[in-house]
Amino acid sequence: MLSFPAVARGQLATPLQGLSFGSLIAGVSDHVTLQDAPRRAEITLSPGSTNATVGVRFIVPSSMVQSATGAQLPLAFGAGDGGIYDPNTGKLTVFDPQAGTTVRLKNKPMTIYLAGTANPAAAQRAGPYSATVTLLITNPAQ
């Protein structure tokens, strides 16, 4: 008989807002911080099972792309660009978004933040750019 460790079932990640750099000037880098509420990415993590532990990690792109031309705009994500806000304690815990961290779910939904830096080149082509960040939620107890 095989037995499987308990898993956190039913946790639901819901994006509230994407990472939005807004208007950029060619040649001028822009860092969106974890405290930048209008521009940081926010994802709500609703607990399916209170006290379950899950791993959260971001898969981040190295650049955004302009769909019309294929032009790329470099992105960078530092070790302090991930954050988890716990409304149960009112604390923001910083983590490396690419390395990930673990979270013990509680009865109130937590919010995961993502910050980052856009590094447009001096000759960066004007216009809109976009990319997709992926949030992975795993159960590291297994």
Partner 1 sequence: MIKRLLALALVALPAVASAQSVPTTATVLAVVTPTITDMNFGDITPNVAQTVTADAANAAGKSAGIIALTFNSSTATVKIPASVTLNRTGGGSMSATLSCGSAATVGGAVTSQTAAACAAGVSFSYNGDATKLATGALYIGGSIAATESQFARAGIYNGSIVATITNPAN
Cβ-contact 84, 95 below 8 angstroms: yes
Task: Tell me how far apart the alpha carbons of residues 83 and 98 are, in angstroms, rounded to a whole number.
Answer: 12
Minimum distance from CB of 82 to partner 1 (Å)?
12
3-class SS of residue 109 = coil
Minimum distance from CB of 100 to partner 1 (Å)?
11
Nearer to partner 1, 59 or 92 (CB): 59
Contact footprint for partner 1 (CB under 8 A)? 2, 4, 7-8, 11, 13-15, 18-26, 30, 41, 43, 61, 64, 66, 68, 71-73, 75, 114, 116, 118, 120-139, 142
Nearer to partner 1, 20 or 89 (CB): 20
Cβ-contact 41, 17 below 8 angstroms: yes
Cβ-contact 4, 139 below 8 angstroms: no
